[in-house]
Structure 1
Amino acid sequence: MDPAAASHTATLPRPLTSLVGRDAEVRTAARLLTPSGTRLVSLVGTAGCGKTRLAIAVAAAEADPVLFVDLSTMDPATGAAGFVLDVLGAARRPDLDVTDTLLETLGAGPALLVLDNCEHVADAVAGLAERLLAAKPALRLLATSRQSLAVAAETVLAVQPLDPGTALRLFETRMYERTGRPLPETHRAAAAAICDALDGLPLAVELAAARAALLSVPEVRRLLADRFRVLADTKAGGPEHHRTLRAALDWSYQLLSPDKQALLRQLAVFQGGWTAEAATVLPGHRPDLVAALTDRSLVLADRDRGRMLQTVAAYAAARLAETPDEARAARDAHAAHFLAVAERAAAGIRGPDQRRWLRLLALEQDNLRAAMAWLSRRPGGHVEEDLRLATAMAPFQHFTGVYDLGRDWLAAALDRRPDAPAPIRAAAASAAATLAMLACDYPAAADLAHRALALAADDRVRLLTLLGSVERERAAYDRSREHLDEARALYRAAGDAWGEGRVTQLAGATAWLSGDLDGAAALLAESLAAFQDLADDESAASSSTHLGAVAHFRGDQLTARRHLVDALDRFTELSFPEGIGWAQDLLGRVDLAEDRLLSATERLRSSLTIHRRVGDRWRSASVLEALAEARRRSGDPAHAAALLGAADVIREEIGAPTPACELPSRQHTEAALRAALPLETFARAHRFGARTPVDELLPLSSAAPVPATL
């Protein structure tokens, strides 16, 4: 058979649909695949990424004759040359071996030979490719495979999943081709979510679009929990692994050796990827196996992290569920690793490695949640690892402002583990008390603190520190000082420099909130020096924030702004929402003091958004009072009165009055509003603010402020 006489259309499959979103890849492959350049290009990628369809598009644009050979049915025990000969319909010759017969068949003219689905016979195809390239200078080869052929002359072109926009366009196109109707605008968000859940894999997206044409886009999105049952098109032509998502992955899985299959299954316990260190804890781990799975496009390597596409991970998880003992061992190992990570982070998060630990925990949040989910329902005897994990995560949950999540974890674990060792339960109760205080649930915070003390009577210092903060927010400043002074003495006696610095900072906060600005300045300067020595950036920034507040209430706005801008920069670097909200709140007050009403309003609204998101109702009330003053000065007294009403409701609900240092400003605002409005108008506006959700109340303050002279 002379390739020059071969029918271009007879050898190349005719696609039934248009190719969407692969123009760049087609151009790249064509540019590479030249007689004078690369003569072997391998399109390599995971199952369902569209390698075959891309190869057909590249071949269809060829001017030279094209021969297309689908190797998916080739038996690995069969010689590659003989299989190709049979597909081409060429007769065997008794005077030549099979490879020489194929060389004679291909002739001397230029041609492109497409070898599709090489992964299960990669070694045999590699040997054949080397012979063909050496003997036929005018021949070029285009291969598709889930792993490279590892031939010296080979150029590998990685075929990636589609980007989100292109995947959505493919989904819309296939739905239109089936229904004749465009995707409803109301269904675009659900369609985008489907494409995202399917990693932009063209096979999966096309199967989902086919299902959506029969059902609906929202229904397909709901059914994706069982993606392998839903995403199948058994009536379509071609190999089964091009028609169903499950078969596409079965094809890859069955090509793996048993040890590689086991590791692939076990890697499914990771959520959001894994580090090389984390992967070593799995029972089936060996470094060479991870590399082998990467070579076969089942695992992706992103710098120092490995991960699987969501679809591959779902497949691996389904396979892991078929082996319960192995699944338990893998999940136990995963949970133990991330418990150790969390406990090391809790110990190091207040020192010079603070940023590193915060970045690590942020990166591993999905794995930490998965570990908690497993430990909370782990079958077997008594364990308390979930209680330890919840406790270790509490400082991070404080940093990230997810107080409610931390409280839920701790409350559930304390309920599950009533017989855990007393020190472990005490630490958990103390952590829960801290998060309750941050969420302004002061009765719960006090109760949990006393529970912690009952479980570990020698840990009185933690109880005193916590109660000092609770009493400060309730404006019981004398009791707050008593608790904090005693705690400070205990930390000093124990030689705990960080603990002493923290309590000194809290005592400084109590002082400035109570109006003792000189005492606050001395305490906060001491705490700032301590945290600078300890290289604790967050705590140092918090001390700077409090020093900024002291300067503000002293009337020194220049010094206040310097401290607060420095603190805001550091909080932003740390992504610490509580600190960002505090700094913006105080900078808004500095702006108010300088009649910068536009900037003040913007900062205060930003601060309120953060405080409400993290659940700090105490500060939310104060910000609403400051916003009321901004609205009053902007010539909107009725809305200002409504904001005061919203603040008063919060204060009544949490049992915390306006702090002493802020009280004169609050009183001035209210007095000015009462003077500006008729009695009944003020009362009506105040009632309106008290009963209106804050989200509905705030947009009413969107009008631009008028000049401060009004």
Structure 2
Amino acid sequence: MESAALPAPLTSLVGRDAEVRAAGRLLAAGHRLVSLVGPAGSGKTRLAVAVAAAATTPVWFADLTTMRTGGHTDRQDPAADAAGFVLDAFGAARRPDLDAVDTLAAAAGDAPALLLLDNCEHVAVPVAALAARLLTAAPALRLLVTGRQPLGLPEETEVSVAPLDDATALRLFETRMFERTGRPLPAAHRDGAAAICRALDGLPLAVELAAARAALLSVPEVHRLLTDRFRVLADAKAPGPEHHRTLRAALDWSYELLSPDKQALLRQLAVFQGGWSPAAAAVLPAHRPGLLDALAVRCLVDRHPAGRRGRMLQTVAAYAAARLAEVPAEEAAARDAHAAHHLDLAERAAAGIRGPDQRDLLRRITLEQDNLRAAMTWLSGRPGTGAADDLRLATALAPFQHFTGVYRQGRDWLSGALARRPGAPPAVRAAACSAAATLAMLDCDYPAAAGLAERALADAPSHDTQIRGRLLTLLGSVERERADYARSARFLREAITLYRAAGDAWGEGRAAQLAGGTAWLSGDLASAAALLDASLAAFRDLADDESVASTLTHLGAVAHFGGDQPSARRHLVEALDRFTELAFPEGIGWAQDLLGRVDLADDAVPSAAERLRASLAVHRRVGDRWRSASVLEAFAEARRRLGDPAHAAALLGAADVIRREIGAPTPACELPARRRTETALRAALPEVAFDRAYRFGERTAVDELLDLSGSAGHLALARP
């Protein structure tokens, strides 16, 4: 039998050199069955043709797309069924003295040859049976097979055909655009093209279809239209089977090969965003043991190398979501199960966040951010003013939004849920108001924080020490930042008494820590040190890393303002290390702020300026305007000492704008330094120059103001 011609490639092969060499080496080294396995649209056929074209022996090519099980010689013999289809594809005559498999083996002869069987996923069983017999009957024959799952034979060597990496996918896009238009991709459109490639997971079929569309429309227009990727990414005029011409057909082909139970699980996995843990997948109504592995074998889901987490390509997820939307009752059940699992996760994590598992819980919640956001969206749409799951989820996530510095998101979630659920149980509403008040205080919205805390105190059960203590410490914090130190201390002393009576060591330690903060900010360093030493001992016993780091930061401030810079630096460096390991932005910014002040006290002015600039960037990112104002004042002193008094005066103007906006004056312990800085600046600049620079700082965005350092800034601000 003469070799069957390979399909003639219409375009160049881009980005598959390593796979071509790997498969070729395997075949040349004596591996007689090599399977190219990958997801829909990954370019297995094009890759296999390139491998076969490089072969030095005759090649037979058979596309099995149209093969149907039981359609040929012997329905009881799957190997003969597949052999019959291959013989028909080659137009080879049957031998009456041999069955179809032996006829094919005889046709192969004794000379080395390569048989390429393309698109085998829908007929994997008969193709596996055929391959097993051919490997025995035709010793010189080698087999190259493509499919979305391996054949499962012991002799098989699998080569994974994964999506392209970002750089290679963009190169493929650019190449296809050039082949279509004769022009290179405009530099202004490279970022858009790269975003398209990422959204399409680097799947060659999808990237090529997108490039074809972009040649007709434009890169920005295709990027915009990707919300309906299955309608946009189709090329009805392209040669070959339909599942090589449209993205939807490629995935339909894979989906229709699944049994109903696997189809259901694939659909329901679409409710996950950013992947899933085994425990999360197990709550889906369609989950059964072994089904996830079956989908992974078929390249429809990815598995974490250690088996801990799964995910779908974005394109597969979009397809599964569209299929799930066709079955509304099933979608509701899957989303209910997903939301319930993540609500339980969030509440358990919130309960354990102040203990030895703190770091693991922070990593877990960070990993599940997209799923938690999806759960919040689903629960928010639930009817009924008395439903409380969205309120519970928003409350549970508030501590993590504090850790990650996304105060505004947390406030929005809580305020929305409180408005939607006026009939929620009083204890649930009290906890939500407490969480909302905490985030409002961190966001420097003191009237809102105080109002929410007072409302929550009215709703909180009298026996709920945890909520009442939290609200009292919150009110103490609000008054501390407003510089009403006496009122702050009264709230915090009441909280300490309440927690101590209840035997709540963590609550007492937290209230003592905050009371220590109030004391040093007011200038009472001795009282602050005693409160903070007790707080530190409690938190070390409780293995609460964040609270240990925060207490060390307070102790660093006490040492700094007391003139003991070596002790201050020791405490603050340890705190910064802990905050950095926890990835806690608020703490990192705060420790850098105080270390900058220690550097100023040690006359290490360039280092101080660098630390203060970094601190300001963090505080501005998380929205902490109270600390931003303090850092601007310290940074003004650094700029003054670096010989830029006009810029320093402008920084003071910017700080005062923030303080007026939030209603919080300069803390008592920082006020002497602030006054010394302003006095020195007025001595260094003519009155009109100081006033001009100060007013410039009041009306200029802080980001722009920070760029005006050095002599250029000095000249710009001091010019008459």
Q: Do they superpose with TM above 0.5?
A: yes
CA contact (8 A) 1:597 1:705 kept: no
How far did 1:42 drift? 0.3
How far did 1:380 drift? 7.0
CA contact (8 A) 2:394 2:413 kept: yes
Counterpart residue identity of residue 277, structure 2 = T
Aligned to 2:524: 516
How far did 1:577 drift? 0.3
Aligned to 2:6: 12
Aligned to 1:135: 137
- Structure 1 pair 410–703 and aligned structure 2 pair: CA distance change class (3 A): farther
Normalised to the residue count of structure 1, the TM-score between the two structures is 0.97
1:548 equivalenced with 2:533 (yes/no): no
Which residue of 51, 63, 68 corresponds with 2:61? 68
Structure 2 residue matching 1:73: 3-state secondary structure:
coil
Aligned to 2:497: 489
What do the CA deviations read for 1:379-399 (whole angstroms, capped 9, x no partner)? 578521000000000000000
Counterpart residue identity of residue 419, structure 2 = D
Aligned to 1:586: 594
Point out 4+ residue stretches in structure 1 off by more than 6 angstroms. Answer: 703-706
How far did 1:126 drift? 0.5
Normalised to the residue count of structure 2, the TM-score between the two structures is 0.96
- Structure 1 pair 384–109 and aligned structure 2 pair: CA distance change class (3 A): same
Moved more, 339-348 or 286-295: 286-295
What do the CA deviations read for 1:231-268 (whole angstroms, capped 9, x no partner)? 00000010000000000000000000000000000000
Counterpart residue identity of residue 267, structure 1 = L
- Partners of 2:6 and 2:383 lie apart in 1 by 55
How far did 1:703 drift? 6.3
Counterparts of residues 412-427 of structure 1 (less than 5 Å): 412-427=416-431
- Partners of 1:381 and 1:336 lie apart in 2 by 19
Which residue of 208, 226, 229 corresponds with 1:227? 229
Aligned to 1:363: 367
Aligned to 2:408: 404
Counterpart residue identity of residue 36, structure 2 = L
Structure 2 residue matching 1:16: 3-state secondary structure:
coil
CA RMSD of aligned residues (A): 1.3
Counterpart residue identity of residue 409, structure 1 = W
Counterpart residue identity of residue 32, structure 2 = R
Aligned to 2:20: 26
Aligned to 2:331: 327
Counterparts of residues 274-673 of structure 1 (less than 5 Å): 274-302=276-304, 303=306, 304-379=308-383, 382-458=386-462, 459-673=467-681
What do the CA deviations read for 1:621-652 (whole angstroms, capped 9, x no partner)? 00000110000001100000000000000001
CA contact (8 A) 2:446 2:478 kept: yes
- Partners of 1:699 and 1:96 lie apart in 2 by 85
How far did 1:454 drift? 1.7
CA contact (8 A) 1:39 1:140 kept: yes
Which residue of 128, 146, 149 corresponds with 1:147? 149
CA contact (8 A) 2:342 2:371 kept: yes
How far did 1:704 drift? 11
- Partners of 2:710 and 2:258 lie apart in 1 by 62
CA contact (8 A) 1:598 1:704 kept: no
Structure 1 residue matching 2:708: 3-state secondary structure:
helix
How far did 1:37 drift? 2.3
- Structure 1 pair 571–256 and aligned structure 2 pair: CA distance change class (3 A): same
Structure 2 residue matching 1:26: 3-state secondary structure:
helix
Structure 2 residue matching 1:274: 3-state secondary structure:
coil
Structure 2 residue matching 1:37: 3-state secondary structure:
coil
- Partners of 1:546 and 1:220 lie apart in 2 by 53
CA contact (8 A) 1:430 1:462 kept: yes
Counterpart residue identity of residue 25, structure 1 = E
What do the CA deviations read for 1:541-600 (whole angstroms, capped 9, x no partner)? 000011111111111111111110100000000000000000000011111111111111
Structure 1 residue matching 2:157: 3-state secondary structure:
strand
- Partners of 2:149 and 2:712 lie apart in 1 by 61
CA contact (8 A) 2:106 2:138 kept: no
- Partners of 2:711 and 2:372 lie apart in 1 by 44
CA contact (8 A) 2:427 2:461 kept: no
- Structure 1 pair 562–332 and aligned structure 2 pair: CA distance change class (3 A): same
- Partners of 1:56 and 1:98 lie apart in 2 by 25
Which residue of 26, 40, 45 corresponds with 1:47? 40
What do the CA deviations read for 1:670-706 (whole angstroms, capped 9, x no partner)? 0000011111110010000000000110011256999
- Structure 1 pair 259–457 and aligned structure 2 pair: CA distance change class (3 A): closer
How far did 1:329 drift? 0.2
- Structure 1 pair 187–330 and aligned structure 2 pair: CA distance change class (3 A): same
How far did 1:69 drift? 0.6
Moved more, 629-638 or 693-702: 693-702
Structure 2 residue matching 1:395: 3-state secondary structure:
helix
- Partners of 2:524 and 2:108 lie apart in 1 by 95
CA contact (8 A) 1:71 1:116 kept: yes
Aligned to 1:188: 190
Q: How many residues align?
A: 699
Which residue of 190, 211, 214 corresponds with 2:213? 211
- Partners of 2:144 and 2:98 lie apart in 1 by 26
Structure 2 residue matching 1:113: 3-state secondary structure:
strand
Aligned to 1:88: 90
